[in-house]
Structure 1
Amino acid sequence: MKLPIKTERLVITKLALTDLPAYEALISIPVIAEGAGFNLVSNQKMLGEIAKRQLAHPNSVGIWLDHQLVGAILLYERIEQTGEPDTHNLELSYFLHPDFWNQGLMTEAMSGLIEALKRDHTVQSLSAEVFIDNLPSKGLIQKVGFQELATVTDPLVGKEKVLYQLKLQ
């Protein structure tokens, strides 16, 4: 995927270790921490190491609005039944600073990213998991073309979530 991706209002680019302070500030926001599972990490040093690992991953991108990091989209290889990573089918995680909710920014970012992935022809599909009570996120995922596959219970938090998939090719 070719970066940066420029949309009408946003720039989507690879996150770097220099973005760590802004990234840690984002993932420390309680609603983001809860949605992404960061609230399950009680040790601040461990949370910092998780953040560094996410920033170092080649498919972790930041969403920038007026030179401010307002969100992120993280893409990870799905693990096959053999235990090997599948680089053609990725799992998607995303979050946006709550001050910027309900402005269409995440829809804009996701749409730009999906179009870039389609042009690249390397990734065949994306999958996402959304807690069943997160109606805005479910609406976003459906708006950008994901199809519902199943509903399962998250083993860590005991809440139901919906599994989605988007075929890119």
Structure 2
Amino acid sequence: MQLPMKTNRITITKITADDLEAYEKLISFPQIAEGAGFNLISNKQMLGELAKRQIANDNTFGIRVHDQLVGAILLYEQIGQCGFPDEANLEISYFLDPELWNQGLMTEALEKLVEVFKQTSEVRTFNAEVFVDNVSSKALLGQVGFQQVSTVIDPLVGRKKLIYKLEL
């Protein structure tokens, strides 16, 4: 996959160690921390180490506006029925600076990422989990073409989540 990917308003790039401070700031926003489970990590040093690991992952992409990191898209291999990572089926997670919510930036980012993966990848599906009360994220996934496939209870927080799937 060739980076950067560009739309009219954003650029999607690889996140690097130079982005660590901006990334840590993003995952510290209460709205992002709660949705992504970062709020379950009370130790700031552990949160910093998690940020470093996510940045080092080849499937962590930065969303930039005017070269400023404002969000991220993370892709994780799902564990297949055989118990091993399944590179053809990825789980997608994403977040954006709350000041930029409801402006269509994440829609642009996800649509671009899906378009590129359809053209250049062996990935067959993306899956996403969303808390049932996250109206904006549910609408976003529907706009990009995801279909709701099931409902689960998150074992860590005891809240209901919806599982969405997108066939590439």
> TM-score scaled to structure 1, two decimals?
0.98
- Runs of 4+ in structure 1 displaced over 2 angstroms? none
- Alpha carbons 1:2, 1:120 under 8 Å: kept: no
Q: Distance in 2 between matches of 1:101 and 1:21?
A: 21
Q: Distance in 2 between matches of 1:49 and 1:121?
A: 30
Q: Distance in 1 between matches of 2:71 and 2:15?
A: 11
- Alpha carbons 1:11, 1:63 under 8 Å: kept: yes
Q: Which amino acid aligns with 1:57?
A: N
- Structure 1 vs Structure 2 CA RMSD: 0.7
Corresponding residue of 2:124: 124
- Alpha carbons 1:152, 1:161 under 8 Å: kept: yes
Deviation string, structure 1 residues 42-74 (Cα, Å, up to 9, x no partner):
111110110000000000000000111110000
Corresponding residue of 2:147: 147
- Alpha carbons 1:12, 1:109 under 8 Å: kept: yes
Q: Which amino acid aligns with 1:113?
A: L
Deviation string, structure 1 residues 60-107 (Cα, Å, up to 9, x no partner):
000000111110000010011322111111000000001001110000
Corresponding residue of 2:91: 91
Shift of 1:145: 0.2
SS in 1 for 2:137: helix
SS in 2 for 1:138: helix
Shift of 1:2: 1.9
SS in 2 for 1:150: strand
Corresponding residue of 2:13: 13
Q: Distance in 1 between matches of 2:73 and 2:121?
A: 19
SS in 1 for 2:142: helix
Q: Which runs of 5+ in 1 are unaligned?
A: none
Number of paired residues?
A: 168
Corresponding residue of 2:113: 113
Residue 64 of structure 2 corresponds to residue 44 of structure 1: no
Deviation string, structure 1 residues 139-162 (Cα, Å, up to 9, x no partner):
000100001100111010011000
Q: Distance in 1 between matches of 2:81 and 2:119?
A: 28
Corresponding residue of 2:53: 53
Deviation string, structure 1 residues 114-147 (Cα, Å, up to 9, x no partner):
1010111321110000000000000000100001
Q: Which amino acid aligns with 1:16?
A: T
Residue 71 of structure 2 corresponds to residue 63 of structure 1: no
Q: Distance in 2 between matches of 1:36 and 1:5?
A: 24
- Alpha carbons 1:153, 1:161 under 8 Å: kept: yes
Identical amino acids, percent of aligned pairs: 60
Q: Which amino acid aligns with 2:155?
A: P
